[in-house]
């Protein structure tokens, strides 16, 4: 069996933890598996490097940022390889460029274009454990690129796909994917199994275990992921394609996101092209819009509301300030004190009563719904930020019979 394992920054923060990861890798290897290990930079390395940069310039060239930050993973792979060698196993470390992880030219957020597998296969055939630097690759100019947020997860999944690995294990500092954030909901339960689509919704909705990019890649290539803790040997959460039969489970998990701001344009004349004008202007400034709601027309005018990440609010307001005159809006408002709570589940589409159950659960808590957005497998509501924790708990209680999921099949 060929297994790709990925260990995040907290799993390799310090020599002691690196030795523990090495032991874990060696244990697997001694079961007879071929092992490729992807690691992130140790703990706070990246932050320390960035703080050095800030003492030099406020506008570093992105190519040089990649040159700088890629050293973090290079340190990790060398140290982990030494620790594995110390335990008596054959091992070799490889940087992203050495592996042949070819990316596009977009420094600091490059996308993988191709992975050459010759060297990897050669080293595996020679009986080596191969330790690969996550988060980094090389463009056609032979320059080092980095993959941006979630980069190491993406490296691991892409390697698993390129090598046709049997399994990709993502080690992190939590036990797996939970039915809700355990910090908010003490009786949240670990999900033994979720589908790629559910995980994508959960990932996008603020369950920060896995970056959506890596889940997308796993889905496309059909790589089963196992998200688990590097601090114990518990089974975590398996993410894989789930068949129709298994979709009977209505609600898989409750997600919430506090990094939300709402903007509303009011009294916008109802003319074709208005929405395009607004959202193209936002896209031009790289502002990602999440939920968009257009109210029913009243006296020939609409209200258009949408949400953005709080970090994008300033940029978004600057766009709205300019665009409001072009679309002849009556004005605009915004609110930072909002949150998004969502229920996610692959079986939702065939259970029309679920939305009503959600709204009822929130109404009973006197929680007002500001905006509502639905997809085939999720329902999201924008509410007051101060009510988010209470909302998540109420939803978890209400759907608690659904969110038991011991074998990927449960009755709603």
Q: Is 312 one of the annotated binding-site residues?
A: no
Examine residue 120 and tell whether it contacts a second copy (CB under 8 A). Answer: no
Which of residues 88 and 273 has its CB atom nearest to a second copy in the complex? 88
Of 27, 61, 288, 368, the residue at the interface with a second copy (CB under 8 A) is 61
Of 2, 20, 44, 65, the residue at the interface with a second copy (CB under 8 A) is 65
Of 2, 50, 82, 349, the residue at the interface with a second copy (CB under 8 A) is 82
Partners of 269 in beta bridges:
301
Of 67, 106, 281, 355, the residue at the interface with a second copy (CB under 8 A) is 67
To which residue do tokens 């889905």 refer?
A: 219
Compute the C-alpha angle 324/329/332, nearest 5°.
70
| Cα 267 from chain centre | 36
List all residues 6 or more positions away from 376 whose beta carbon is below 8 Å from its beta carbon: 348, 349
Of 141-149, 153-161, 247-255, 258-266: span binding a second copy (CB under 8 A): 141-149
Of 74-82, 263-271, 301-309, 358-366: span binding a second copy (CB under 8 A): 74-82
Examine residue 108 and tell whether it contacts a second copy (CB under 8 A). Answer: no
> Between residue 185 and residue 244, which ones bind a second copy under the rule CB under 8 A?
none
Q: Is 164 left (phi over 0), alpha (psi -120 to 50) or beta?
A: left
Examine residue 353 and tell whether it contacts a second copy (CB under 8 A). Answer: no
Q: What is the DSSP letter of 92?
A: E
Which of residues 16 and 244 has its CB atom nearest to a second copy in the complex? 16
Of 60-68, 172-180, 239-247, 402-410: span binding a second copy (CB under 8 A): 60-68
Tell me the site size for a second copy, rule CB under 8 A.
38
Q: Is 173 one of the annotated binding-site residues?
A: yes
List all residues 6 or more positions away from 258 whose beta carbon is below 8 Å from its beta carbon: 206, 339, 385, 388
Compute the C-alpha angle 373/378/380, nearest 5°.
40
Examine residue 60 and tell whether it contacts a second copy (CB under 8 A). Answer: yes
108: tokens are: 């600091």
Which of residues 92 and 174 has its CB atom nearest to a second copy in the complex? 92
For residue 314, the minimal CB distance to a second copy (Å) is 25
Of 77-85, 154-162, 189-197, 249-257: span binding a second copy (CB under 8 A): 77-85
Q: How far apart are CA 332 and CA 262, in angstroms?
A: 11
Examine residue 408 and tell whether it contacts a second copy (CB under 8 A). Answer: no
Q: How far apart are CA 256 and CA 90, in angstroms?
A: 44
Partners of 93 in beta bridges:
131
Residue 196 burial (CB count, 10 A): 22
Q: Dump the DSSP string for 223-282.
A: --EEEEESSS----EEEE---GGGGG----EEEEEEEEEEEEEEEEE--TTHHHHHHHHH
Q: How far apart are CA 168 and CA 11, in angstroms?
A: 16
Examine residue 121 and tell whether it contacts a second copy (CB under 8 A). Answer: no
Q: Is the dihedral of CA 153, 154, 157, 163 positive or negative?
A: negative
To which residue do tokens 């908010």 refer?
A: 184
Give the pairing type, strands 129-133 and 91-94. Answer: parallel
Of 12, 25, 36, 83, the residue at the interface with a second copy (CB under 8 A) is 83
Q: Is 221 one of the annotated binding-site residues?
A: no
Which of residues 67 and 184 has its CB atom nearest to a second copy in the complex? 67
Is 202 within 8 Å of 194 (Cβ atoms)? yes
Binding mask 300-339 for a second copy (x = CB under 8 A): ----------------------------------------
Examine residue 351 and tell whether it contacts a second copy (CB under 8 A). Answer: no
To which residue do tokens 């003492």 refer?
A: 55
Examine residue 49 and tell whether it contacts a second copy (CB under 8 A). Answer: yes
Of 1, 23, 86, 368, the residue at the interface with a second copy (CB under 8 A) is 86
For residue 66, the minimal CB distance to a second copy (Å) is 8
Of 98, 108, 294, 351, the residue at the interface with a second copy (CB under 8 A) is 98
Q: Can you give the binding site for a second copy, defined by CB under 8 A?
A: 15-16, 18-19, 49, 52-53, 55-57, 59-61, 63-65, 67-68, 70-71, 74-75, 77-79, 81-83, 85-86, 92-93, 95, 98, 119, 142-144
Q: Annotated binding site for substrate: which residue ranges?
A: 46, 73
């Amino acid at each position: 069996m060929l297994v790709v394992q990925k260990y995040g920054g907290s799993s390799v923060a310090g020599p002691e933890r690196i030795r523990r990861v090495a032991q874990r890798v060696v244990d697997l290897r001694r079961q007879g598996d071929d092992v490729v290990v992807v690691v992130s930079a140790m703990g706070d390395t990246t932050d320390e490097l960035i703080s050095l940069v800030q003492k030099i310039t406020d506008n570093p060239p992105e190519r040089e940022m990649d040159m700088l930050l890629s050293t973090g993973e290079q340190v990790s792979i060398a140290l982990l390889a030494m620790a594995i060698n110390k335990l008596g196993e054959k091992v070799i470390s490889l940087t992203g460029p050495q592996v042949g992880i070819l990316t596009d030219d977009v420094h600091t957020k490059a996308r993988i274009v191709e992975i050459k597998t010759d060297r990897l296969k050669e080293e595996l055939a020679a009986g080596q454990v191969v330790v690969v630097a996550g988060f980094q690759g090389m463009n056609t100019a032979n320059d080092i690129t980095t993959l941006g947020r979630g980069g190491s997860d993406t490296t691991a999944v892409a390697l698993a796909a390129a090598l046709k690995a049997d399994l990709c294990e993502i080690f992190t500092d939590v036990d797996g994917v939970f039915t809700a954030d355990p910090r908010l909901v003490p009786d949240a339960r670990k999900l033994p199994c979720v589908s790629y689509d559910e995980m994508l919704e959960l990932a996008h909705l603020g369950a920060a275990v896995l970056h959506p990019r890596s889940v997308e890649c796993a889905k496309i290539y059909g790589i089963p992921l196992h998200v688990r803790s590097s601090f114990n040997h518990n089974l975590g959460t398996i993410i894989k394609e789930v068949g129709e039969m298994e979709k009977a489970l209505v609600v898989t998990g409750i997600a919430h996101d506090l990094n939300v701001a709402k903007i509303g344009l009011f009294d916008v004349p109802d003319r074709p092209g208005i929405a395009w004008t607004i959202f193209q202007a936002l896209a031009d400034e790289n502002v990602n819009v999440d939920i968009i709601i257009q109210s029913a027309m009243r006296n020939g005018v609409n209200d258009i509301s949408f949400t953005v990440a709080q970090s994008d609010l300033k940029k978004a307001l600057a766009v709205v300030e300019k665009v409001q005159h072009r679309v002849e809006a009556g004005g605009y408002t915004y609110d930072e004190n909002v949150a998004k709570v969502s229920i996610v589940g692959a079986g939702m589409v065939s259970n029309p009563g679920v939305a009503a159950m959600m709204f009822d659960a929130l109404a009973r808590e006197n929680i007002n719904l500001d905006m509502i957005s639905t997809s085939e497998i999720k329902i999201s509501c924008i509410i007051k930020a101060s009510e988010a924790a209470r909302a998540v708990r109420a939803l978890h209680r209400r759907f608690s019979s659904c969110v038991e999921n011991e074998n990927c099949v449960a009755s709603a």
